[in-house]
Structure 1
């Protein structure tokens, strides 16, 4: 039976209770609607016979009474209904006017249609029929999905023309024959044109043809507007949609907003959200209380600083999709098994979070084995990884052996010398041989022998990546012309080329030759110390007379390149910057 909107008006003589109900469906279009309610409660009369019988004066009285009583019922909107409590309430007795007018029982309905209760003293079939009708409505109303599995034969037949049109446009329709499509070709033309406008070609659409089931105005436009509000550039939107086309039929409130709030809670800046989602859009399909939460919690538990989590996830958001038991923990345990302390592993991950994306067996373990095969000592592996974590992910199956053989042939070095050179600077096995050959040729042009070059490179491999025009040539010219030293002096101290000419070499030389001082010292004594130690040496107050040994990795110590690095370090920062290339 058609649902009737019921309204009851109390009789002061009988002290009847009054309740006002609203039950208006989307299909009702009645004209007699009373909206004079302070709390936006609408009263609608769908019974034309009874509405005509009410006079105008009585209608005004009804409106005023309903308005005053609606204020008393305003608390019902602010708190959820208790079905059990309402069921125990006594039924409301209709007034005399209701019985004379034949009005239906009164109802109370929540705005969200979550809980509906009928209060009536009617018995028998009328009450049961009303209950069945109201219970048949969905208790939770959400926006309807615009595509789904079709069971109607009529819809399939109506969509045949649309399928034919898509086939002429080069779209694979195998997955579209069982989903709901618009029956008008013009509508599909609009959808297809819109998708192409935002950067999807036929290849991208064929990878996920279900995107053609999305409504432009109900699905695509709200999502794209929200992405623009987040700060997505237009070309990033195209990249995101191509990587993750499912976003076009996602709900902004239900699917996207929770992920955005979760990322903001991990200290990811709002301006970085577009870059994070564009790099790894699969985050939009994860549950925030699942893998994403556990991966971050594990990293923090093993020593990763909470303040570094935002930076790590911004640089490598794929961490949020990694399972702890099968991905993160095995790699963390393997690095510790190599002899690297847990605190150092945590700091490596803070600065290089992408190493968690390296495959454990085919990359990390394999590369360590290749290094051991070319003569690298096992106890030197932790220092190499701390200095250059990328070595765990590079392809060393060929380059390691080829570079080791090349250095042996060109520089006449023994296996242990080559291995020692790689231990000091792991990046050397990734240097292009053409680049290294240019430096070797330059040194030979400056009258260095092959044996001298081999000794220099094995002791200071940074020479192979130093610039000829800005470092090697000017430093060597200053050594021979201004300092009046032989070029062979750098054979014993090749680290001379790693110091800044203007920042350290020239100031130290001026201080050495200032006034009556005319000290004859080695380059190591002159350069390999801090400014404070150098002043003590000039004044003869230094207790350190032996030449200092270059820096080396100490287990549990400071990582090279850490911001807390002292200004008066023994070796110049240029050497570390060159090694990090």
Structure 2
């Protein structure tokens, strides 16, 4: 009879029978968690990782002396120290407004330096470029306020309700924190802190080898009766064969405990085989299990068959359905009536058949969107002057827009565009040409690119003019596109930076395949021409106009 002593469990969980043990690994594990049912652009890449989790950080209040010492230790001078302390106080006030106690708020801000620095940098950027007009703060002139007040309003405007600094304080990096915060957007921070504290069902129990195992045994005691050699060991090996890393097997089991009782031949393999209908097999199954362990439950498999039948009737290509399921298997837990109602909404703006397939392949989580939230975005686009057909084209091109919050994301982007000089008359055209602007991060994407262009000598007005003429301008990476092409323009072509104001489409051409070859041809012939004349013509016209022949010559090495 199997009767392990829980207090004596070793670091590596070991379940013994009279003759053979099986190892399920260290239960004090770095855990990847996903929270199904929320709507975000890149579900296939992000997990909540509790590696190096130290819950005691939440309740060990750092003294003011320790805070100051930490700043100085990391290279800050006295002025920097004061700025950081002011910013921390502002963030702490935001947390306290959300119901977090003063002590907990101080603990959180003391352990979220990257979040605090991000806010300070954001304030400095807005100060430097005089962009505070796009911010409204209860009628106050934000530009004239102290740094502390500006940080306070910026933290409030971000709308994360203190979730980002809290997640950083428990060890998550900023990228993961941002994604996880979206999943937890409906959760109040004080409630989440209480859940972290909770002994039973608390998330912190996943970080304790003893507690997690004890409660697993409490809930599923018959698991101790399973044969080790002929069941548990084979199950772990099978998961490895289909792409679940050995160290993450316990994650699948903890998130979906019934799976440990499944018979591999009778239950698991037949259900996995069902996915071959959409060419999902092998390691893809393992990745799906890590995202949504319920995917091989009997009820999900039944619903999967109905989902396939539905999309076949809608003439959606199986390849698109396959991609949607692989990247976001949570849709298989959604009722057909819910999926049908969303597909009908898409159909009303002309997104059907193949176009529908592209949308669900790109953003399958939209199928789980609430009706009123989707319609809010449609109404927002209509207010900008787009008709149904245009909205459908935008949905097909950039479905992430329809997963965004109107108030917290889309309207804020409009304020930013207006503040840099994009008038309402030009706004519709700019968005139609490059709708991705509406889901580009202001602080991490748009502002840094605008800041770089202005550093090269262009004015804010000139940058706005370039965006009006060529909407994707601020969508280009500084390091990969803007900098190398401007450096070639100035240093090699010996043209002024201002030339790109007249022809911002210059940035859209390949440096190696078009800009350099054509420049060297013109230079070899001693020909001077504008960027538009150099790049705007097709190969045949360029050769005819500048070379007197009907085809492009090979440029010199």
- TM-score interval, normalised by the smaller of the two chains: 0.5 to 0.7
Task: Give the superposition deviation at 1:368.
Answer: 2.6
Match of 1:333 among 339, 344, 348: 344
Query: What is residue 501 of structure 2 aligned with on the other side?
Result: 491
Q: Distance in 1 between matches of 2:381 and 2:261?
A: 50
Q: Deviations over 1:15-42 (max 9, x none)?
A: xxxxxxxxxxxxxxxxxxxxxxxxxxxx
Match of 2:437 among 428, 431, 446: 428
Query: What is residue 276 of structure 2 aligned with on the other side?
Result: 264
1:204-223 matched pairs, under 5 angstroms: 206=215, 209-214=218-223, 215-217=225-227, 220-223=232-235
Query: What is residue 413 of structure 1 aligned with on the other side?
Result: 422
Stretch deviating more after TM superposition (339-348 or 240-249)? 339-348
Match of 1:343 among 335, 354, 362: 354
Q: Distance in 1 between matches of 2:458 and 2:290?
A: 52
Task: Give the superposition deviation at 1:196.
Answer: 7.8
Checking the alignment, whether the CA contact within 8 Å between 1:374 and 1:400 is kept in structure 2 is no
Q: Flag the 1:338–1:251 CA change in 2: closer, same or farther, 3 A.
A: same
* 1:318 aligns to 2:327 (yes or no): no
Q: Distance in 1 between matches of 2:366 and 2:439?
A: 21
* 1:284 aligns to 2:284 (yes or no): no
Query: What is residue 390 of structure 2 aligned with on the other side?
Result: 380
User: What's the TM-score once normalised by structure 1's chain length?
Assistant: 0.54
Checking the alignment, whether the CA contact within 8 Å between 2:453 and 2:463 is kept in structure 1 is yes
* 1:527 aligns to 2:539 (yes or no): no
Match of 2:401 among 381, 391, 394: 391
Task: Give the superposition deviation at 1:392.
Answer: 1.7
Tell me the secondary structure at the aligned position of residue 268 of structure 1: coil
User: What's the TM-score once normalised by structure 2's chain length?
Assistant: 0.56
Q: Flag the 1:524–1:355 CA change in 2: closer, same or farther, 3 A.
A: farther
Query: What is residue 232 of structure 1 aligned with on the other side?
Result: 244
1:181-192 matched pairs, under 5 angstroms: none
Rg bigger for which structure?
1
CA RMSD of aligned residues (A): 3.8
1:135-284 matched pairs, under 5 angstroms: 201=209, 202-203=211-212, 206=215, 209-214=218-223, 215-217=225-227, 220-284=232-296
Q: Distance in 2 between matches of 1:347 and 1:208?
A: 45
Query: What is residue 34 of structure 2 aligned with on the other side?
Result: none
Q: Distance in 2 between matches of 1:493 and 1:266?
A: 46
Task: Give the superposition deviation at 1:533.
Answer: 4.5
Q: How many residues align?
A: 361
Checking the alignment, whether the CA contact within 8 Å between 1:384 and 1:424 is kept in structure 2 is no
1:301-316 matched pairs, under 5 angstroms: 301-316=313-328
Task: Give the superposition deviation at 1:456.
Answer: 0.5
Higher RCO (Cα < 8 Å, 6 or more apart): 2
Query: What is residue 19 of structure 1 aligned with on the other side?
Result: none
Checking the alignment, whether the CA contact within 8 Å between 2:338 and 2:368 is kept in structure 1 is no
Tell me the secondary structure at the aligned position of residue 406 of structure 2: coil
Stretch deviating more after TM superposition (328-337 or 377-386)? 377-386
Q: Deviations over 1:146-196 (max 9, x none)?
A: 9xxxxxxxxxxxx9xx99x88x999xxxxxxxxxxxxxxx98999999778
Q: Deviations over 1:499-548 (max 9, x none)?
A: 22222112112233443x7364x423322344345334446799xxxxxx
- Tell me, which stretches of 5 or more residues in structure 2 are unaligned? 10-14, 30-205, 551-557
Q: Distance in 1 between matches of 2:461 and 2:474?
A: 15
Q: Distance in 2 between matches of 1:210 and 1:512?
A: 77
Q: Distance in 2 between matches of 1:303 and 1:537?
A: 48
Task: Give the superposition deviation at 1:244.
Answer: 0.6
Checking the alignment, whether the CA contact within 8 Å between 2:358 and 2:396 is kept in structure 1 is no
* 1:296 aligns to 2:287 (yes or no): no
Q: Flag the 1:308–1:224 CA change in 2: closer, same or farther, 3 A.
A: same
Q: Distance in 2 between matches of 1:309 and 1:320?
A: 11
Task: Give the superposition deviation at 1:233.
Answer: 1.7
